[in-house]
């Protein structure tokens, strides 16, 4: 094995010490956990309608997910976000929320949040708030019930609307995540901004990402650059740049007319890799250091082979040394295959 130079040895030693530092000197303090790949919707830009999901035997138990999450917290992660699939359809999911909430009480963890499609909020909003969840992201791409049915295929619009009201009543701060879809919801942008202003919700627009086979739909036909979307918004609304940050990739502006914030997540037109502070854990224990790359570390092996958390910590630290500088997303007519083969529901949005 060739000898490392003194500088490379110093960088490696620094990378292998707490907190988690990647090779590009970015501190990793944000973990997104896909607690299930299953979902009660079949959104047209996310998955095909006849999805095959993981066998339950491959999915980590809630106790294993808690142990993994707690190890990351011990290594300096300050923010945990539970995602899916749809996280709130996982059986006994509140058991995991209860286990992780102890880190909020101790002060080790600054924030426990969730991204949801809103379908289960009438059941769980109050309990999540009681356990220390303060804000949630709700995926909603249209305010038209007919379009909603077409986009989600299986979703119930009235159920999501009731869930949003339950979240408000529980005191949860809500941010709406809207995927910009050309020819689908691009005629609703002003209505979404106005509605979010009336409801007191912030709003984030997201460019469609080339992940997973979604059947006969062409992503190039769905793709709407947010530079184009924002130009249209600025014709009607007054946008002021904001330094607001949530730990995620969105860049925010404030809408003077509503007082609410709009975020833009632009993995295609302007990636956010230079400030990436996050990694993603799947429900099978695979740790993806980048959403747009296939390299991953299998944490299920050290998790199940040893009760010694030092073994698990070493595996996590080694994985962080492989975090790439950025992703390779691309959408165009010449690239028929998705840039990344796995579906968003596997990795967690």
Q: What is the pLDDT along the chain (349 residues), one digit of tens a residue?
A: 455 566 655 555 554 556 899 999 999 999 999 999 999 988 888 777 777 788 888 999 999 999 999 999 999 999 999 999 999 999 999 999 999 999 999 999 999 999 999 999 999 999 999 999 999 999 999 999 999 999 999 899 999 999 999 999 999 999 999 999 999 999 999 999 999 999 999 999 998 876 444 444 555 567 888 999 999 999 999 999 998 877 667 889 999 999 999 999 886 655 567 778 999 999 999 999 987 788 899 999 999 999 999 999 999 999 999 998 876 544 444 555 444 444 455 555 5
pLDDT of residue 48: 74
Residue 76 lies in a domain: yes
Handedness of CA 51, 335, 276, 152 (dihedral sign): negative
CA distance 34 to 214: 19
Full strand arrangement of the beta sheet holding 79-83? 239-241, 251-255, 261-265, 202-207, 173-180, 135-139, 111-116, 79-83, 30-34, 278-281, 286-288, 296-298
Residue 349 lies in a domain: no
Residue 60 lies in a domain: yes
Residue 39 lies in a domain: yes
In CATH, what number is assigned to the domain containing residue 226? 3.20.20.70
Residue 1 lies in a domain: no
Residue 32 lies in a domain: yes
CA distance 150 to 230: 25
Global pTM reads 0.84
Handedness of CA 346, 205, 127, 145 (dihedral sign): negative
Residue 245 lies in a domain: yes
pLDDT of residue 126: 98
pLDDT of residue 114: 98
Residue with tokens 């095959």: 52
State the residue range of the domain holding 195.
6-343
Q: Count up the domains in the chain and report the number.
A: 1
Residue 186 lies in a domain: yes
pLDDT of residue 342: 46
Beta bridge partners of 240: 254
CA distance 70 to 75: 9
């Amino acid at each position: 094995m060739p000898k490392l130079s003194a500088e490379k040895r110093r960088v490696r030693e620094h990378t292998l010490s707490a907190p988690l530092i990647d090779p590009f000197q970015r501190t990793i303090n944000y973990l997104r956990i896909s607690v299930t790949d299953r979902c009660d919707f079949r959104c047209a830009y996310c998955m095909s309608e006849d999805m095959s999901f993981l066998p339950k035997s491959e999915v980590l138990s809630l106790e294993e997910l808690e142990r993994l999450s707690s190890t990351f917290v011990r290594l300096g992660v300050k923010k945990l976000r539970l995602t899916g699939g749809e996280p709130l359809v996982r059986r006994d999911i509140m058991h995991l929320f209860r286990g992780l909430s102890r880190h909020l009480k101790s002060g080790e963890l600054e924030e426990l949040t969730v991204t949801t499609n809103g379908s289960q909020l009438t059941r769980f909003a109050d309990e999540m708030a009681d356990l220390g969840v303060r804000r949630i992201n709700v995926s909603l791409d249209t305010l038209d019930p007919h379009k909603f049915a077409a986009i989600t295929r299986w979703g119930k619009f009235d159920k999501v609307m009731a869930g949003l009201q339950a979240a408000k009543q529980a005191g949860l701060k809500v941010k709406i995540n809207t995927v910009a879809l050309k020819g689908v919801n691009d005629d609703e942008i002003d209505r979404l901004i106005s509605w979010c202003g009336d409801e007191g919700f912030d709003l984030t627009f997201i460019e469609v990402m080339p992940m997973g086979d979604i059947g006969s739909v062409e992503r190039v036909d769905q793709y709407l650059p947010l530079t184009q979307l924002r130009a249209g918004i600025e014709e009607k609304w007054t946008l002021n740049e904001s330094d607001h940050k949530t730990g995620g990739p969105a860049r925010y502006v404030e809408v003077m007319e509503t007082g609410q914030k709009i975020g833009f997540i632009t993995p295609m037109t302007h990636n956010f890799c230079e400030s990436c502070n996050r990694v993603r854990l799947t429900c099978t224990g695979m740790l993806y250091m980048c959403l747009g790359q296939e390299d991953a570390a299998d944490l299920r092996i050290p998790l199940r082979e040893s009760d010694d958390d030092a073994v698990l910590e070493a595996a996590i630290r080694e994985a962080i040394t492989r975090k790439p500088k950025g992703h390779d997303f691309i959408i165009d007519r010449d690239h028929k295959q998705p840039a990344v083969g796995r579906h968003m529901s596997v990795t967690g949005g």
